[in-house]
Amino acid sequence: MTSIPLTFRLTDWLRTALLTVALILAAPAAGLAADMPDEPDAFLMAVSDRAIEEILQPDISTEARIEKFEALLEDAFDLEAVGRFVVGRAWRSATDEERERFLKLFKDFNVFNWGSRFDDYGGQRLHVTNVIPDGDKGHFVETRIGDQDGKPFVVTWRLRKRDEGLRIVDISVEGIWMSQTWRSEYASVLKETGGLDGLNDTLEQRVAEMREKTEL
């Protein structure tokens, strides 16, 4: 079976950082687009506050958490832009059917890869420290998040303006950009499998394994 390194082979500190990012951002998406602020710092803080208040409560089921996280990815992230970037040239040579299948599997892979780890939340909080313009279409928002040992690490969010409002297109943990990491790792799978169709088959198998593990 072709392996997908992605977050499975990251160093322990980066794994913890990305998990914390996922937990902090896992806000319920019902009404998200209509209710979220237009200012980048307020946008992130509102998502963080709602995550802590609702999805991270101990009495919520794993199934419900994963469903809410899936809704969040669709509502707060520009998944198509991220997906197109991480597969690079393979996107341009793929068919419309292959692209559509990839975007669905890309979302599902991240839903189960992150969403099944919500039980590890340890009370971390997000604090906005700086907002930097990114041209006239977005912002970089610098934040600090405390890990479970109380040691803060820097997380930078790249937000872009879309017709629906602000959307997250990238995340940097201590200077390592997630989209670049994914692009590098997916490139090895694309090379091994021969293109987007082969990557889709591999992703589909991994998603099925994670779905079975979470009994959904």
Phi, psi angles (nearest 5°) of residue 61: -75, 160
- Asked whether the predicted pLDDT for residue 4 surpasses 80, the reply is no
42 alpha-carbon distance from chain centroid: 19
CATH 3.40.50.720 fits 6-213, yes or no: no
- Asked whether the predicted pLDDT for residue 32 surpasses 60, the reply is no
- 158-191 as b/e: b if 16+ CB within 10 A: bbbbeeebbbbbbbbbeeeebbebbbebbbebbe
3-state secondary structure at position 157: strand
**H or E element, residue 143:** strand 138-146
136 or 58: which leads in pLDDT: 136
Residue pointed to by tokens 């998040």: 145
Single out the residue of 146, 132, 13, 29 nearest to residue 79, CA to CA.
Answer: 29
In angstroms, the Cα distances linking 114 to 88, 111, 148, 160 are: 23, 6, 17, 23
**pLDDT for position 150:** 65
Single out the residue of 155, 128, 132 nearest to residue 22, CA to CA.
Answer: 155
- Mean pLDDT, the chain, whole residue set: 78
pTM summary value: 0.79
- Asked whether the predicted pLDDT for residue 10 surpasses 70, the reply is no
**pLDDT for position 139:** 95
Which residue ranges make up each domain of the chain? 6-213
3-state secondary structure at position 33: helix
151 or 205: which leads in pLDDT: 205
3-state secondary structure at position 150: coil
**100: pLDDT confidence band, cut at 50, 70 and 90?**
very high
Mean pLDDT highest for which of 46-55, 92-101, 136-145, 150-159?
A: 92-101
